[in-house]
Amino acid sequence: MRKALSKFGQAIKLPGLSFFMAFTITGLIIAVSDAKVLAKFSSPFDFITSALASVGNAYLALFQGSVFDVNLIKDGSFFQGFYPLSETIVTATPLILTGLSVALAFKSGLFNIGAQGQFIFGAIGASYVGFNFELPIGIHILAAALTGAIFAAIWGGIVGILKARTGAHEVILTIMMNYIAAYFILWVLKTQAFLRPGRIDPIAPEVNENARLPLLAGPSFRLNFGIFIALAAALFVWWLLTKTTIGFKFRAVGANSQAAKTAGISVPFVITSTMMICGALAGLGGAVQVLGSEYALNTDIAGSFGFDAITVALLGRAQPLGTVFAALLFGALQAGGRTMQSNTGVPLDIVQVTQALIVLFIAAPAFVRYIFKIKKMNASAALTSKGWNG
Amino acid sequence: MSQVLKIKKVRSNVEKRRLAGVSVTTLLSVLSLLFFGFLNPGKDKTTFGFVLNNEWVLIKEWVISSQTGSRIFSLVAVAASVAAALAFRKGARIVLPTGIATFGIFMAFITWVASGKFIPFTGLLQGSLLLAVPLIFGSMSGLICERSGVINIAIEGQLLASAFVSGVVASLTHQSAWGLLAAPFAGASISLLLATFAIKFSVDQVILGFVINVFVIGFTSFLYKKLLVPYQASWNTAPTFSQLEIPLLSKIPIIGPIFFSQSVVVYLMFIIVGVITFALFKTKWGLRTRAIGEHPTAADTVGIDVNKLRFRNVVIAGLVAGIGGAYYTVGSVGAFGNEMTAGAGFIALAALIFGKWSPMGAVFAALLFGFADNLQSTLTIIGVGIPSEFMLMVPYIATIIAVTGLVGRVRAPAADGIPYRRGGAN
């Protein structure tokens, strides 16, 4: 028991210390940028207490916006207080899917920055099928989600084919594809096919009732079936990577593409199929966002789900389960950050800083050891990407 | 003897790539001639405007029928393609003829698409140069890092951080010069972050660069909303540099207004590109830098402190990128805008790769991207019937074509991205 505990302690030491440092630095930034705190600069005691109060309020709002808020309990409904938690899950759902997209690519040795563009194509596909057809319940959801996934798989597959055939680096390719997708959705929303009748602003019609993912906790919560799709996708990625031949090939190429080639694995095939599956995963994220919570395609549908996915996958060490937890955490930060912004006036962008810091420290175990003067610390092999020649 | 002749000629990869280049340009030239010149010709006349002098009133107009113009330029492209094919057979360099062919195709396209419209040609080129300025600074930053073996994905972060700092400093001091002076330090501090984590703590450099970008985007957005928006009057009203005309040179027709009637940041760019090119290939520092990028173990053997030099070079690269960042604020519009670099750092990175990690190559690639970007906005302004969203995609599509089709498999410095440890694997 004791041994197990110490093992557990070892395992969470790096993430724990990384979180601690990230939230400390974030707190410093919040305190120092608060005008009320700076006004008390002349007296050290007041300065410190007001700084602590400022940070405390911000972090309290972060918690209230992501887990539980007493103020929301109305008419004796204790359950309503968990509305923030449901928002966390709703925000985390697309993050899980895009995070899995990036994570799976990492396993094949690819750095997929293109989840954003793939997400957009998934959302476009799902939205079009969602509002344009009348299909029976169940089938409609399936058709819409599949269309989204296929659109995005093609979009991701283009990168795979280009890389496999020409050797161009996927980081550059996916970044450019993201920009192209971002402009593409702006154009699509102006076309006749996507224009909502009676509206001139770029917003598509809402998807039909039959195409909407069922709500799980009643109409006052946005919590929907999408979270189960995301968890199933995580299970699928785990199964694919550990139980199938193709997953073995992915990991072999990811570990050492030269050796994999020598062993007779077709590297171009692995690159292309990885990118297609990654695309499908991120596209499913876009589909879930449209069918589960937004219903109507709009210019900002993708938010930064595709970019946050990279930090999610890095934090989750590219493991399916780790990615789920990381997505839930970042979903909480996003949902809480919105409340923090409206309650305490701390811009939501600070969440991005926190996320970057967490991932930075997690990626640098040597740095954490150096700061805390730790001699030995268990850190599983750091994630690596391939340089330009890789 | 006849046996030998029957053996199929084996082409090396380099030859294959050259052949692909020649074939693609030839195909595009012929297609351009057919499509723009005959099948779907422009019906009206195209007007090109040239500013002969730096005084904008002296505009020379050149009017040509869209169809004839497209035919002429396409024919130039076809002729250049033939020259390229001949050069390829002789084994000579094909850069110049393929370059001319590309130019011909571009011009044929412009003449075709702007049928019945006015193209401000000098303005088009001038704008291209200006759009390329931060790209060139960014790619020089990447060049110095990567030539010494450190991958720099954080160019975007360097540009954005220094744009922010130079804007704020110039606003607070009411002096654009202070903004320009402060910017390199902002770029260098991002570099310090990159160098410390990449070199001292051996963090994967691609991931690190990405995370640094996220950090800088988040942090500048945070400060922008917390400081620059509420206190705009004092914090975000950076003055800009006025145009500095170089006597005599600025009077040269066409070239004068493009190159010699610019702000001081642009002249700094010319100087820095020259200095870097010279230093990299003609000085001891350059030789050492290239050595630690290609073969750090060998460099170590002859007594070069690999990691120290890498650290120093990454910081220098930050200084260079910093000036590029200053261009966004004090060099052009003044006030800082949220995420105002809008991915230029990544285009700069693509320019570096497209330019095969050589200073001149990167500069030309950056100019090409600048041209694609400016052509897009010019054509959108004159209104050519192509949806503006598609025009906006052009620079990014151009980048993809550049990194996949035109350059093919390029070779980065051999030790790029690999942390150096004495007695390590490399």
Per residue in A61-77, pLDDT (tens digit) is: 999 999 888 888 776 67
To the nearest 10 degrees (0 to 180), the angle between helices A320-344 and A83-107 is 140
Q: Which distant-in-sequence residues (6+ apart) come within 8 Å of B169 by Cβ?
A: B178, B179, B181, B182, B183
A104 and A11 housed in the same domain = no
Q: Which residues of B touch A384 (CB under 8 A)?
A: 204, 207
pLDDT-derived band at B52, boundaries 50, 70, 90 = low
Neighbour tally for B262: CB within 10 Å: 24
B191 and B248 housed in the same domain = yes
Q: Which residues of A touch B214 (CB under 8 A)?
A: 307, 310-311, 352, 355-356, 359
Residue contact A111–B411, C-beta within 8 A: no
Tell me phi and psi for residue A12, to 5 degrees.
-95, 0
Neighbour tally for B243: CB within 10 Å: 14
Q: How high is the pLDDT of residue A378?
A: 59
B105 and B208 housed in the same domain = no
B136 and B285 housed in the same domain = yes
Q: Is residue B271 situated within a structural domain?
A: yes
B56 and B201 housed in the same domain = no
Q: How high is the pLDDT of residue B56?
A: 55
Question: Chain B closest CA to A60's CA: distance in Å?
Answer: 19
Query: DSSP string spanning B222-238?
Result: HHIIIIITTTHHHHS--
Q: Residue B219 pLDDT > 50, yes or no?
A: yes
Do residues B105 and B77 lie in contact, with contact meaning Cβ atoms separated by under 8 Å? yes
Q: How many domains does chain A divide into? A: 2
A138 and A17 housed in the same domain = no
Mean pLDDT along residues B346-369: 89
Q: Is residue B71 situated within a structural domain?
A: yes
A127 and A51 housed in the same domain = no
Q: Residue B1 pLDDT > 50, yes or no?
A: no
B239 and B365 housed in the same domain = yes
B239 and B255 housed in the same domain = yes
Q: How many domains does chain B divide into? A: 2
A29 and A164 housed in the same domain = no
Where would I find the H helices in B196-295?
205-223, 232-235, 255-259, 264-282, 284-294
Q: How high is the pLDDT of residue B390?
A: 87
B112 and B240 housed in the same domain = no
Mean pLDDT along residues B262-281: 94
What gap in Å lies between CA A109 and CA A50, rounded to an integer?
48
Residue contact B417–A179, C-beta within 8 A: no
Q: Residue B381 pLDDT > 50, yes or no?
A: yes
Q: How high is the pLDDT of residue A80?
A: 83
Q: Is residue B412 situated within a structural domain?
A: no
Residue contact A166–B405, C-beta within 8 A: yes
Do residues A379 and A365 lie in contact, with contact meaning Cβ atoms separated by under 8 Å? yes
Chain segment A242-283, per-residue pLDDT in tens: 999 999 999 999 998 899 999 999 999 999 999 999 999 999
Comparing CB atoms, the residue among A353, A367, A370 nearest residue B215 is A353
A52 and A179 housed in the same domain = no
Domain that holds residue B257: 124-406
Question: Most confidently modeled of A41-55, A201-215, A226-240, A306-320?
Answer: A226-240
Q: Is residue B417 situated within a structural domain?
A: no
Chain segment A212-228, per-residue pLDDT in tens: 999 998 888 899 999 99
pLDDT-derived band at B394, boundaries 50, 70, 90 = confident
The token pair at A7 is: 């093992």
Percentage of residues in chain A with pLDDT exceeding 70? 97
Q: Residue A339 pLDDT > 80, yes or no?
A: yes
Tell me the three state secondary structure of residue B244. strand
Of B212, B226, B406, which to mutate for an interface test with A (greatest number of A Cβ within 10 Å)? B226
B212 and B261 housed in the same domain = yes
B107 and B144 housed in the same domain = no
Residue contact A176–B203, C-beta within 8 A: no
Domain that holds residue A14: 1-64+347-382
A302 and A375 housed in the same domain = no
Q: How high is the pLDDT of residue B61?
A: 81
The token pair at A390 is: 């890789």
B232 and B207 housed in the same domain = yes
What gap in Å lies between CA B371 and CA B317, rounded to an integer?
25
Chain A residue nearest residue B395, CA to CA: A176
Residue contact A363–B225, C-beta within 8 A: no
B109 and B155 housed in the same domain = no
Q: How high is the pLDDT of residue A274?
A: 97
Instruction: Choose the final residue of a domain: B78, B97, B116.
Output: B116
The token pair at B330 is: 């004090």
Q: Is residue B347 situated within a structural domain?
A: yes
Chain segment B312-328, per-residue pLDDT in tens: 999 999 999 999 999 99
Residue contact A172–B346, C-beta within 8 A: yes
Query: DSSP string spanning A106-162?
Result: HHTT----THHHHHHHHHHHHHHHHHH----TTHHHHHHHHHHHHHHHHHHHHHHHH
Q: Return the DSSP state at A375.
A: S
Q: How high is the pLDDT of residue B425?
A: 46
